[in-house]
Structure 1
């Protein structure tokens, strides 16, 4: 039987996981360069960024779009 795949690339990923992976890939300075948001450039932390992103839909959309556009290694689930 073949395994069904979900067309949503963010399926099963939390915002915290997305952010942690982006920070690991780009670092805070690189992330701030990709997306001009103060929480990434002014004393950045996962906690403060999550708080801002959860309250700000346009910023969250930019983070999710960057994650989808980024090149990630294949995983076998």
Structure 2
């Protein structure tokens, strides 16, 4: 019996990986401007962000959306340079 492909694009990606990726791409300052939450603007760390985002669904949704958008744009740029 074949398994259905997983349709959740965040499957297998941890919240810590998402935060680290976004910080590497944009830095804390830009993240704080785009998503105005205190864990990005006042003494930001990955751990403080994890604590807040695990307890705050609306903030986590914004971070996940930015991550997916960033990954999509990166993939689109890579396809244009290859093709």
Alignment partners' CA distance in 1, 2:48 and 2:61: 17
Deviation at 1:5, TM superposition (A): 4.7
Give me the TM-score of the superposition, normalised by structure 1.
0.83
Task: Name the structure 2 match of 1:25.
Answer: 25
Q: Which runs of 4+ in 1 moved over 4 A?
A: none
Unaligned 5+ segments in structure 2 are: 79-83
Deviation at 1:34, TM superposition (A): 1.2
Give me the TM-score of the superposition, normalised by structure 2.
0.77
* Bigger relative contact order, structure 1 or 2 (CA pairs below 8 A, ≥6 apart): 1
Deviation at 1:57, TM superposition (A): 0.7
Task: Name the structure 1 match of 2:36.
Answer: 36
Question: Alignment partner of 2:74: what SS?
Answer: coil
Question: Which structure is larger by alpha-carbon Rg, 1 or 2?
Answer: 2
RMSD (CA atoms)? 1.6
Give aligned pairs, total. Answer: 71
Task: Name the structure 2 match of 1:59.
Answer: 59
Alignment partners' CA distance in 2, 1:55 and 1:33: 21
Unaligned 5+ segments in structure 1 are: none
